[in-house]
Structure 1
């Protein structure tokens, strides 16, 4: 017996709902719960030929996208450590759901719901890729790309179908393909080691050799330390080195780009480090902060400001039982500056 693509799509949505609900139970992260609700809400949105009516399609399409947007917004907050404005929570997820209810009550087509949902999904895909690449790397790109494709497909679907450009068979198979791609992209993020926090447990090896408090190490010693921290979620502010797997890395540079901090914005280093230390302490792990570009920071800030920033970070890691690793060479500094660095970080 050959299973029709309609029922395969429904079965895939049910399976995805269960899988992501299980991820919530394992991680206690609300983003997984909201994404699971998004899949559950999309089940009644049946492909052509399964008896769905416009009212049901409008309401559940809007609801599914609302939960998806809420899940993405929550995931960004979980990783960034900051709450989004309440207005964003009230408007972004509400818009598609509201459109669905309005169009269902009018008894017309769901064009407005599909178009609104598509625009918001496309924007969410771009934002997710930019903000989450630090944490999920290629998986974030895949997730964002699939969201963007889903958004474009959502915007084009009602126009193309209502004008006869898409046949029911094309809609059925396209729905199955999109559901498969989306489920895989979600799975690559939600079941990643970072999301489930398994990396924080499995990669504790090597961290016992990193002493709590602050220390100054040479480039040679840093290479050895880096190898021991491969796979550990250390927070690294780098200038030249390549981050190891699992590191949450930022580049110190005057050239703008994703995950780049200008040398004149040292406050961002302090803010990011404090949020990171709080989150690592909450998970019961040691926060390890690496700063490679201290002498580069001095080129754009006076030496006293750089020392104050380092002293603040030292106090923070001591409070949270973390470690601060400063990578630099003695011969780069004059004797007075070097002695101040040693006293400040000693």
Structure 2
């Protein structure tokens, strides 16, 4: 089972693969250190498992190869589900997360049964457990597609990369023993891994991808507020060292290292949102409240451009948006700050807004 003669070409391929996979593990770990996201730490662990699987594949140890491939697929899928859950798009500790370990369970059962039945393991006997692992990686890519409402093109492209990686894993048993096809397939796989590292790094650079340290917060204001100018300035000074989500028309806020800031404009660019894209603002707010709640802090969302929003939507649409935002904050125990210029609103509009917010 383990007596395969390893050619120099196979060792060279393993060397290249090892360098790329170790690079992936290191890149993911650096993103973890920057964002404190548990999901990215699991991605780093899955990369190490993939490296071990590749080593046993080259050695021809089929049992170890399948076990570590399944462990890689399980931890990778679990990491992706954690990432989606961190965005508030999946309930916490769902059965789906436990199902991510299906490849490892099946591979372990396969190995134990094979030993018990005295089966002589060879490469062809690894097809089914390997296919299950590939299928779960494929499914992970579909889950990543779900965060496109927050991360747009970055999430879509990362989803495509993971889906293609899953397809490669599913096809691997068909070309494993054909040297030229194996080389081409491996090169394509390494290219996909490099693209995966790139798009994960892009996500790590997003302000909305950051998570706060795990500590309790008893100092943040509660409930929905409409402070006047001076009250608002005083509140923002007290929140200077806290993490909050800010939708603004003030370009000076964009340089804040502590806050997650989005510039509301009709122009396209990094960390910009159209004034008509209210659903994205709600989705980002939900993600922020969810992530902060998990870390033991009260989420804070500031909408300091509500007059600008009214220029592009009618009053009823803006009120529905604020009502929905307040509802989300109540569900997650968060805070919404909405500074306004009172002269920009009629008495009736102010009464309606105050009724919605309070």
Q: What corresponds to 1:233 in structure 2? A: 260
Q: Distance in 2 between matches of 1:250 and 1:52?
A: 58
Counterparts of residues 144-163 of structure 1 (less than 5 Å): 144-161=159-176
Q: What corresponds to 1:246 in structure 2? A: 271
2:209 pairs with one of 178, 181, 195: 195
Query: How many angstroms does 1:288 deviate by?
Result: 1.4
Query: How many angstroms does 1:235 deviate by?
Result: 7.5
Gap change, CA 1:343 and 1:18, over 3 Å in 2? closer
Counterparts of residues 27-106 of structure 1 (less than 5 Å): 27-46=35-54, 50-80=58-88, 83-84=91-92, 86-91=94-99, 93-105=100-112, 106=114
For residues 193-225 of structure 1, what are the alpha-carbon distances to aligned partners after superposition, in whole Å with 9 as ceiling and x for unaligned?
A: 543459xxxxxxxxxxxxx932799xxxxx982
After alignment, is 62-71 or 24-33 more displaced?
Answer: 24-33
Gap change, CA 1:29 and 1:299, over 3 Å in 2? closer
Gap change, CA 1:49 and 1:275, over 3 Å in 2? closer
Counterparts of residues 1-346 of structure 1 (less than 5 Å): 4-46=12-54, 50-80=58-88, 83-84=91-92, 86-91=94-99, 93-105=100-112, 106=114, 107=121, 109-129=125-145, 131-161=146-176, 164=178, 167-190=181-204, 192-196=206-210, 213-214=225-226, 225-230=249-254, 233-234=260-261, 241=266, 245-246=270-271, 273=285, 276-277=288-289, 279=291, 286-289=300-303, 292=309, 296=314, 298=316, 306=320, 309=323, 312=326, 322-324=336-338, 337-341=348-352, 344=355
Does structure 2 conserve the Cα–Cα contact (< 8 Å) formed by 1:6 and 1:176?
no
Query: How many angstroms does 1:114 deviate by?
Result: 3.1
Q: Distance in 2 between matches of 1:69 and 1:314?
A: 28
After alignment, is 307-316 or 335-344 more displaced?
Answer: 307-316
Query: How many angstroms does 1:7 deviate by?
Result: 0.4
What is the RMSD of the two structures over their aligned residues, measured on CA atoms?
Answer: 4.7
For normalisation by structure 1, the TM-score amounts to: 0.66
Q: Distance in 2 between matches of 1:19 and 1:242?
A: 32
Q: What corresponds to 1:256 in structure 2? A: none
Query: How many angstroms does 1:44 deviate by?
Result: 1.6
Gap change, CA 1:33 and 1:297, over 3 Å in 2? same
Q: Distance in 1 between matches of 2:86 and 2:57?
A: 40
Query: How many angstroms does 1:158 deviate by?
Result: 1.3
Query: How many angstroms does 1:145 deviate by?
Result: 1.2
Q: Distance in 2 between matches of 1:26 and 1:32?
A: 10
For residues 124-172 of structure 1, what are the alpha-carbon distances to aligned partners after superposition, in whole Å with 9 as ceiling and x for unaligned?
A: 213312x32344333222211110110111112213446x596443344
For residues 239-259 of structure 1, what are the alpha-carbon distances to aligned partners after superposition, in whole Å with 9 as ceiling and x for unaligned?
A: x95677436889668xxxxx5
Q: Distance in 2 between matches of 1:83 and 1:21?
A: 25
Does structure 1 conserve the Cα–Cα contact (< 8 Å) formed by 2:150 and 2:284?
no
Does structure 1 conserve the Cα–Cα contact (< 8 Å) formed by 2:301 and 2:336?
yes
Q: Distance in 2 between matches of 1:97 and 1:327?
A: 58
Query: How many angstroms does 1:53 deviate by?
Result: 1.6
Gap change, CA 1:285 and 1:313, over 3 Å in 2? closer
Does structure 1 conserve the Cα–Cα contact (< 8 Å) formed by 2:225 and 2:337?
yes
Does structure 2 conserve the Cα–Cα contact (< 8 Å) formed by 1:14 and 1:40?
yes
Q: Distance in 1 between matches of 2:188 and 2:328?
A: 55
Q: Distance in 1 between matches of 2:21 and 2:249?
A: 45
After alignment, is 280-289 or 51-60 more displaced?
Answer: 280-289
Q: Distance in 1 between matches of 2:328 and 2:64?
A: 57
Q: Distance in 2 between matches of 1:58 and 1:31?
A: 23
Query: How many angstroms does 1:65 deviate by?
Result: 1.1
Q: Distance in 2 between matches of 1:44 and 1:260?
A: 41
